[in-house]
Structures are given as structure tokens and as C-alpha cells.
Amino acid sequence: MDCRNIVSLGEKVLDGYRLTADDAAALTRVASPDIPILAAYANKIRHRYTGEGVDMCGIVNARSGLCSEDCKFCAQSVHHSTSAPVYPLLDAGQIVAAARKAQDEGAKRLSVVTSGKGMENDPDFSVIVTAIQTVIAATGLKVCANLGTITAAQAKTLAEAGVKRYAHNLETSRRHYPSVCTSHPYDERLATVAAAKAAGLELCTGGIIGLGETWQDRVDMALALRDIDPESVPINILNPIKGTAFESLQPPPPLEIIKTFAILRFILPDKIIRPAGGREINLRDMQGWLMLSGANGLIIGNYLTFSGRDAAADFRMVRDAGLQPL
Amino acid sequence: MSYDLIFSVGKKVLAGESISFDEALALTGIDDSDIPILLGVANKVRQTFTGNYVDTCEIVNARSGNCSEDCKFCAQSAHHEVQLNVYPLMSEDEILRAAKKAETDGAYRFCIVTAGCGMDGDTDFARITAAIERIGRETGLNRCCSLGLLTAEHVAALKAAGITRYHHNLEASESFFPNICTTHSYQDRIQTIKQIKAAGLQVCSGGIIGMGENWRQRLELAFALKELDVDSIPVNVLNPVAGTALEKQSKLKPMEILQTFALFRLILPTKIIRYAGGREHALGELVPLGFLSGVNGMLIGNYLTTSGRGAADDLTTVTGLGLQPMCKKAQ
């Protein structure tokens, strides 16, 4: 696909056109010298559909490690020997303190994350619900929850407790998923996402790039996300953690990351597309460009098991790009 | 729609035609959300006419401060009270050391810069040519220098010493120049550049943006450089230094700076458009995007009176973008 095709497809998306799978596959064949034009069109689409706001979300790892699942990228899986922190559920006071820290850094949204497959039969669930209510009362932050698989009843409980949005990733495409995780199926993820949606929760659902997937897998994940219709799509870029099954995978180079975000914006014109973990290590000083390539959200502060950078740097970067942190 | 204009001008430039002043001026008024498209088109022009090479140059401030001139941006002017390391001409050994560091850093070019209006009646001149000759013997660097205004005799002596390119900025457009300097004229600068060209040396000449000039004046500078047919255009972004007349000048928006680089590329499609001082301060994390907006050269290492971020980081950025730094080591 050359510049002319990028431009004509970009124009169509600006006019409301919905990309076909073939269109998306063609975008993956854009050559390196044309990536800036592709990225610029993604930026134009972002501007048209979502404006200049950038959604800034902080996270708290409220329970870390000892996860029964075997997701090959994950530092918290018991199947891996990593130096990731391991601790039981933080108490409400600690979670509120983490929330206040995120708020001080400028976040308007906080995601409470726990390790583990999910909440079915988990006695921590009611403790978490109470903690979330405390956070909302104490800070006024918009609170999201990221607790793994949940039942329809639990989704309803979270919605009633004031949770705005449920975060649950697809991680990758259906085809590639078995190469990433074997301890629970892709359909179980879809079921959780559906349960959250049915309970009236917004969704924050995305995945990770750099897991050995093909371009077609990335497109397929994006198309699956389009069907799910989440408000927010977090995209992590693999940070290969020593001790994980994917410790030796080579993450995609910066230009390929930019191209991926741009294609996601073409496929998901009106969503929050949120660069998440791994952006600093993989994009280095090219993160500013990413903000002009279709992205309109960020995870700020630290990630689950590794550090991010100073949130102030992210706020400056967003403003330098002419955008407005929300 | 403003991007129709971007594409029609882009096509014209890619076809080898020149952009007119009015077209360039119209492109200064595009919507903010279209600026990345302009940058992408400039990138395409850069790639088409200059390939994927990025010219790298490291400079040494071989004589610092006490300058008789009153350039309002300059930390080295005797008219300003600035915290500055003032020193006379470095010894030949010191200059050589700086050149060797530049070579180790991966620079393709090395430029000896001295403070002062020019070389007229300057007793340091012979020592500078000796240093240039020695660098030629002891390094593989391309040698440039920036010594202010010159006479034809100086030019001949520099050429004999092995200089391939001389640096002398216009600084600003003719219409804006009197606002930033009153002790010598724009025409003095033009005269020096013409002498350099007449001697068959290459010219590195650009300026500084963000000094209070308007878009029209910024474009006049670019078109003047096109008219002079200079080889390399260093573009500094004002980093207001406390104590200078421009210390309170407000910062340009990063996107406007990138837009400027893109317009320079459309006006000067085949030339080296070079990142110079102030880029880190002014652009932050948008510095890499400049290399995809028309820039194909950079100063590496430190600037005259302010620090850069280190050559290694800049070279990593450039290679990460799929571009190829020009350097002696790689050849």
C-alpha cells in the first residue's frame, strides 16, 4: 500500500467508513518511509473522532504475584521464577494511599488491579469492593477494576459499588492465544467482558504486542476489539521479563510500534487507544511521536511489576504534542 | 481543506518543482491537526531527495565570549551580562583533543567556532589555520569552521588549510535582522557567504527561530538561503539565556517548530537541514519526530554555550528511526 492508498483510505475513515479486514491487512503492508503519513492520518482520525483530550489513568497493583495462570509474558505467574513482588491484598488504607498518590500525579482515573485468574470463589472480592468504595469516597477518582474473570453477579456488584469501567484484556488474537496462555481459554475472557458489559460497566480491553504474533494476529485482535466495542483499548508492548517464558522474545522496533498504533486507530477510530506497559523501554524518546500517531490515553506512574517514569514527564509530553491531559 | 494544499504542494516538490513563497505562507496557516500530515509529506521529500543519511557535526567553542557584537540572542556578546565561561583561543592541542572526541563520538564533521565579529586584523587567525591543518593530519574528520566575517584572503587561507565548508549564519531574515543585531549588517553576512562560495567552498548557513520573528520573516530566511544555494542549513531554536536581551522571549510551541522544519524542507528539498542548538529544550520528546519532518542533519555533543544531551543518545534515536548517521567510523 503506498501513500495514495493511505490517503484515500484515511479520507474514507474520516468520513465514517468502517475498515474491512482486507483494508486492515493492506495497512500492515505500508512500507517504512510511508509510516509517517500513516501515523499522520491516524492522528487526523484521532482528532476528528476523539478531539485533543488524553485520558490519563493510574494503576495500583493491589495484590501481586502467585497467579495460577501460565500467561507466558507475565511476571506474576507461579509458572515463572521472576523477581516480581509477591504480596496479599493490600488493605483499604494502603489502596487509598496509592490512589491519592496517583491523584497527586495528575490521574483522574485509577485502576485497581489484582493478580490471579479471577474472582469466582475468591474471599478477597468483598474486601476489594469495600476498598473501592472507600477510594471513591476519599478521592473522587473515577475507579476501574481489573480483577480477572468475574461472574455476572460480581460485575453487577462492582457496578453498584461505583466502578465505572472494567479492565480485562484479550491479550492477543484468538489464533495466537494458545501460544500465550493454556491455563484458561480465550472464550472465558470474552465471557468476562460480556458479563461486565451486561452489568453496565464500561470496558477497558486491549492486549499486548510483541508476543510473537503476526501482523494478521494484530489486525484480528483489533477487529475482535471492534466487535466488543470497549471504551478504552490499552496496548502494552512486551517488556520481556527475566524468568518468564517470553524472556528472550525481541520486542518490535519503534517504527513497527508506531505503525501498529496507527493501524489500531484506523480500525477503532473513536476509542481511547492507550499505550500501556513497555512504552518507555521500547519507544524510548519516540513516545512523543506516538501521541501524534493515534494514541489518546496513557497509563501513568508505575505498571504492575515494573516502574514507569515520572508522571510529570508524561504530562509535559502530552502538552508538547498540542494535546490536553484529561 | 488545508490538507489538499499540503498534498498539492508536496506533489509539486516531489516532481522537482519549487514551492512559491505564497504557497509556503499558506502552509503556515493549516489546522493544527493537519501539521503531522505536513511533516509526513516533508519526510517523503527528505527521503526522496537526500535518502536516509543524517549528517552529523560536532563543534568546539575554541574561543569564548567578549564578542564586540550585540546579537540579542547571544550569550557571548560583551553587551550582555551572562554567566559564561570566557576564554581566549584554545591551544592547538586542546582543539585537537576536541576533534578526537568528536571523531570518537561518531561525528562526520568537526567545526571550529570562535567568538567575535570576524577575522579582520585578528592575530589568532594563523593559529586557527595551523590547528585545522593538524586536525587534517591526525583525524579523518571533514573540517569546517565558523570564524565570523572574513576577507577573501582569509577564505583562500582556510581553503589551503583544508576546510571543506564554512559556517556563517544569516541568523534571521533581512527584514528582521535589525531587530536582533545593530553592530553589523545583514549585507555583511551575505558578503562573507558570497566570498566563501566564490572560493569554491561549501556553505553551512541558517539561523535561529523563536526570536520574535513572524512566519513571513521565517520563510524569508528560508528563501534567502535557497537563493544563496547554501549546502547545509543549521536551524537553532532560541534557548533564552539569562542576561541576554532575549532572555524573556516566550517559547515557540513544539508543533510550530516541527512545522518550520517541514517548510524548510519543502523550500530546500535537496539540502542538509540540520538540528542545532535549543532542540532538546524546545521540543522535549518530540525531537525524534523532527527527523521524520524534514531534518537530515544534526549537531551532536554540546553547543557553544549550552549542553546537548550526548551524542550516543542522538545516534540511537536516529538509528531507531531507520535512518543512517553519516560518520567516519561507519565507512
Neighbouring C-alpha atoms within 13 Å toward the C-beta of B132:
26
DSSP structure string for B36-83:
HHHHHHHHHHHHHHHTTEEEEEEEEEEEBS-BS---TT-TTBTTS---
CB contact under 8 A, A321 and B286: yes
- Residue B147: inside a domain, yes or no? yes
B316: its cell numbers: 540511537
Q: Within 10 Å of residue A121's Cβ, how many Cβ atoms?
A: 7
Find chain B residues with C-beta within 8 A of A320's C-beta: 254, 283-286
- Residue B311: inside a domain, yes or no? yes
Beta-ladder partners of B87: B64
pLDDT of residue A285: 87
Specify the CATH number for the domain of residue B286: 3.20.20.70
Cα A307-A310-A314 angle, rounded to 5 deg: 110
pLDDT surpasses 90 at B316: no
Chain B residue with minimum CA distance to A35: B40
Output the average pLDDT for chain A.
92
pLDDT surpasses 80 at B308: no
- Residue B27: inside a domain, yes or no? no
Q: Which domain holds residue B197?
A: 35-325
**DSSP letter at A164?**
-
CA of A291 to nearest chain B CA: how many angstroms apart? 10
pLDDT surpasses 80 at B307: no
Task: Kindly report which listed range (A174-188, B23-37, B56-70, B124-138) carries the lowest average pLDDT score.
Answer: B56-70
Is the ipTM beyond the 0.85 threshold?
Answer: no
* Stretch B94-107: mean pLDDT: 91
pLDDT of residue B330: 40
Confidence of residue A45 (pLDDT cuts 50, 70, 90): very high
pLDDT of residue A303: 67
Output the average pLDDT for chain B.
91
* Stretch A46-55: mean pLDDT: 96
Q: What's the total number of domains in chain B?
A: 1
- Residue B24: inside a domain, yes or no? no
pLDDT of residue A240: 93
Q: How far is CA B123 from the centre of its chain?
A: 27
Task: Kindly report which listed range (A17-31, A116-130, A297-311) carries the lowest average pLDDT score.
Answer: A297-311
Confidence of residue B2 (pLDDT cuts 50, 70, 90): low
Do the beta carbons of residue A236 and residue A273 sit within 8 Å?
Answer: no
Confidence of residue B152 (pLDDT cuts 50, 70, 90): confident
pLDDT surpasses 70 at B328: no
Residues of B with CB under 8 A from a CB of A: 3, 7, 32-37, 39-41, 43-44, 47, 253-255, 283-289, 292-293, 313, 316-317, 320-322
- Residue B243: inside a domain, yes or no? yes
Do the beta carbons of residue B57 and residue B104 sit within 8 Å?
Answer: no
Find chain A residues with C-beta within 8 A of B41's C-beta: 37
Q: Are strands A165-167 and A142-146 parallel, antiparallel or unpaired?
A: parallel
CB contact under 8 A, B40 and A44: no
Neighbouring C-alpha atoms within 13 Å toward the C-beta of B266:
32
- Residue B19: inside a domain, yes or no? no
- Residue B23: inside a domain, yes or no? no
Residues of A with CB under 8 A from a CB of B: 3, 7, 32-34, 36-37, 39-41, 43-44, 47-48, 253-255, 284-289, 292, 313, 316-317, 320-322
CB contact under 8 A, B34 and A44: yes
| Chains A, B: CB pairs < 8 Å | 88
Nearest to A120 by CA among A81, A162, A148, A95: A148
Confidence of residue A92 (pLDDT cuts 50, 70, 90): confident
CA A150 vs CA A117, A191, B86: distances in Å: 9, 9, 69
Task: Say how far apart CA A90 and CA A76 lie, in whole Å.
Answer: 16
pLDDT of residue B27: 96
* Stretch A204-209: mean pLDDT: 97
| Residue of B33, B285, B317 with shortest CB distance to A47 | B33
CA A283 vs CA A4, A250, A251, A276, B53: distances in Å: 28, 13, 10, 12, 21
Confidence of residue B168 (pLDDT cuts 50, 70, 90): very high
pLDDT in tens, B244-272: 988 999 999 999 999 999 999 999 999 99
* Stretch A108-126: mean pLDDT: 90
For A241, phi and psi rounded to 5 degrees?
Answer: -95, 130
Do the beta carbons of residue B209 and residue B237 sit within 8 Å?
Answer: yes
Chain B residue with minimum CA distance to A318: B285
CA of A297 to nearest chain B CA: how many angstroms apart? 17
CB contact under 8 A, B284 and A320: yes
pLDDT of residue A76: 84
Confidence of residue B331 (pLDDT cuts 50, 70, 90): very low
Higher pLDDT, B33 or B13: B13
* Stretch B298-302: mean pLDDT: 86
pLDDT of residue A238: 96
- Which site among B285, B291, B316, B318 would you substitute to test the A interface, given the most A Cβ atoms closer than 10 Å to its Cβ? B285
pLDDT surpasses 60 at B1: no
CA of B38 to nearest chain A CA: how many angstroms apart? 8
CB contact under 8 A, B316 and A289: no
Continuous segment of H or E residues that includes residue A252: none
CA of B11 to nearest chain A CA: how many angstroms apart? 11
pLDDT surpasses 90 at A86: no
Continuous segment of H or E residues that includes residue B237: strand B232-237
A185: its cell numbers: 481459554
* Stretch B165-190: mean pLDDT: 94
CB contact under 8 A, A36 and B44: yes
B89: its cell numbers: 583561543
| Residue of B33, B40, B321 with shortest CB distance to A255 | B321
**DSSP letter at A178?**
G
- Residue B46: inside a domain, yes or no? yes
Domains of chain A and CATH, by start: 3-10+21-320 (3.20.20.70)
